[in-house]
């Protein structure tokens, strides 16, 4: 096929619209050509060359954004790189990553990582509040002293927030250390300055939180929250039911607030969580108390797909429970957060002797990749019903309430029967149903 050759001028390029590749005949063209992929489509300047025996195509920009003269200069520079065994495409990538600022790399970090919306919001807050002074600085230019100054300056206001931001910065640096490399593939960032910050003990080690609903507070807590479930104001009513679900199941706030009715099986007394922190769907059993609240939610449903809909927009889940928790504080003096309820659930389960593996499943903790035993102890919702009910029973006992565990009583009766007695009993139940 004949080679399309024309002398690149403004007139010839403006009149050239057919699909194909057009080679510049000018003596200073340096292999420059123009490619048109679609009729009337973009006109892209290109140049070919070889690096280590492999053919490489380099894009030089679109006409007329890049002028003919500029394209010829770029083609000459590319040919010079080819002659020195350099791939111009890798060179461009190197220059781009070498000059990437912290703000650029942070944005890439958010794009690459699979993060929950709530996590992304938190990262943006940390970046804006703490890391902003370094945002326009190239990653390769950020030093340990820069990091230390930013940390010290913000730690005067909040040591916890300063440390959180440094953990984010550390993760961003680890990504940059892997991506920012020279033309030979060698990393340009050899040390993570935030890691050095930790080594030199500049991080503030905060005591792990231990707050929970204490045993002698459970009665007041339940009385107050349950009273709010009868309040006509939706943000109290729905919020109170969500708080009780967190209390009886120890699940995370976001996972629980986002439960939809398609995730609830009232007949089998199960519900499941999606979009969980450990990335898997988890079926959980309802206890005698949470079954009541799911039925209450169903009876009060307003057409929303969410079990706990927002008071202002039923097409969205409830975003927080600040108002009912503030009311709880005002009425009882009990100051608590959704995560404190999770801590209450797990500490109660531990106190009554539940297996650590059962507790981890009930609370939906991430499964350890190195713990082989945990992989073999997975239980379904029905198997989790008894330990889950035991935690609920412990709450009710501390609140001085009668425990109605019909399932547990029935199980005890059945266990005391012989096989023939069990068969006669089941036949009796079946006949009773037919009579009804």
What pLDDT was estimated at residue 370? 46
Whether domain 102-199 has CATH 2.50.20: the reply is: no
134 vs 385: CA distance, rounded Å: 51
Q: Which helix (H) or strand (E) holds 109?
A: helix 102-112
What pLDDT was estimated at residue 365? 63
What pLDDT was estimated at residue 183? 65
Give this prediction's pTM.
Answer: 0.55
288 vs 230: CA distance, rounded Å: 19
Class of the CATH domain delimited by 215-398: mainly alpha
Domain residue extents for the chain: 5-86, 102-199, 215-398, 406-435
What pLDDT was estimated at residue 29? 85
What pLDDT was estimated at residue 372? 39
Strands lying side by side in the sheet with 54-63: 5-6, 20-24, 32-36, 43-51, 54-63
Q: Which residues does residue 264 pair with via DSSP β-bridges, in sequence order?
A: 271
What pLDDT was estimated at residue 373? 42
What pLDDT was estimated at residue 226? 95
Q: Which two tokens stand for residue 205?
A: 């080690």
Mean pLDDT of successive 10-residue stretches along the chain, which has 436 residues: 80 91 89 88 91 86 93 91 82 71 90 84 93 91 92 90 91 86 73 80 58 93 94 88 96 92 94 70 91 94 93 92 93 92 94 89 64 50 90 94 62 65 74 65
CATH superfamily label, 5-86:
Integrase, DNA-binding domain (3.30.160.390)
CB 102 within 8 A of CB 134: yes
What pLDDT was estimated at residue 406? 55
27 by Cβ neighbours in 10 Å (0-12 / 13-18 / 19+) ranks as exposed
**Measured distance between the N- and C-terminal CA atoms of the chain, rounded to whole angstroms:** 88
């Amino acid at each position: 096929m004949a080679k399309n050759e024309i002398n690149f001028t403004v007139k010839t390029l403006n009149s050239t619209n057919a699909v194909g590749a057009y080679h510049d005949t000018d003596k200073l063209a340096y292999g420059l050509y123009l490619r048109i992929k679609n009729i009337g489509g973009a006109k892209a300047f290109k140049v070919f060359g070889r690096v280590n025996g492999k053919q490489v195509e380099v894009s030089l920009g679109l006409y007329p954004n890049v002028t003919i003269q500029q394209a010829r200069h770029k083609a000459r520079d590319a040919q010079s790189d080819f002659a020195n065994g350099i791939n111009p495409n890798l060179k461009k990538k190197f220059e781009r990553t070498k000059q990437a600022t912290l703000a650029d790399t942070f944005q890439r970090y958010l794009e690459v990582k699979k993060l929950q919306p709530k996590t992304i919001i938190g990262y943006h807050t940390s970046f804006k509040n703490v890391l902003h002074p370094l945002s326009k600085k190239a990653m390769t230019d950020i030093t340990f002293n820069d990091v230390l100054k930013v940390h010290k300056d913000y730690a005067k206001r909040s040591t916890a927030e300063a440390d959180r931001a440094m953990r984010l910065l550390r993760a961003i640096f680890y990504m940059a250390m892997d991506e920012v490399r020279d033309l030979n593939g060698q990393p340009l960032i050899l040390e993570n300055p935030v890691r050095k910050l930790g080594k030199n003990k500049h991080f503030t080690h905060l005591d792990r939180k231990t707050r929970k609903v204490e045993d002698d507070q459970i009665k007041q807590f339940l009385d107050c929250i349950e009273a709010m479930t009868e309040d006509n104001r939706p943000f109290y009513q729905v919020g109170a039911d969500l708080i009780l679900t967190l209390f009886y199941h120890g699940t995370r706030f976001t996972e629980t607030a986002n439960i939809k009715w398609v995730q609830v099986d009232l007949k089998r007394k199960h519900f499941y969580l999606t979009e969980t922190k450990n990335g898997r769907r988890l079926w959980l059993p309802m206890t005698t108390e949470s079954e009541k609240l799911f039925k209450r939610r169903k009876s009060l449903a307003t057409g929303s797909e969410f079990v706990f809909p927002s008071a202002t927009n039923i097409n969205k889940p409830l975003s927080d429970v600040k108002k009912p928790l503030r009311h709880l504080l005002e009425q009882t003096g009990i100051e608590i957060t959704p995560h404190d309820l999770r801590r209450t659930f797990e500490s109660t389960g531990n106190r009554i002797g539940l297996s650590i593996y059962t507790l981890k499943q009930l609370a939906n903790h991430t499964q350890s990749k190195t713990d082989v035993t945990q992989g073999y102890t997975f239980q379904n919702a029905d198997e989790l019903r008894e330990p889950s009910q035991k935690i609920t029973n412990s709450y009710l006992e501390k609140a001085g309430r009668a425990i109605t565990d019909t399932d547990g009583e029935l199980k005890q009766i059945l266990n005391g029967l012989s096989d023939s007695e069990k068969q006669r009993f089941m036949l009796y139940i079946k006949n009773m149903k037919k009579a009804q």
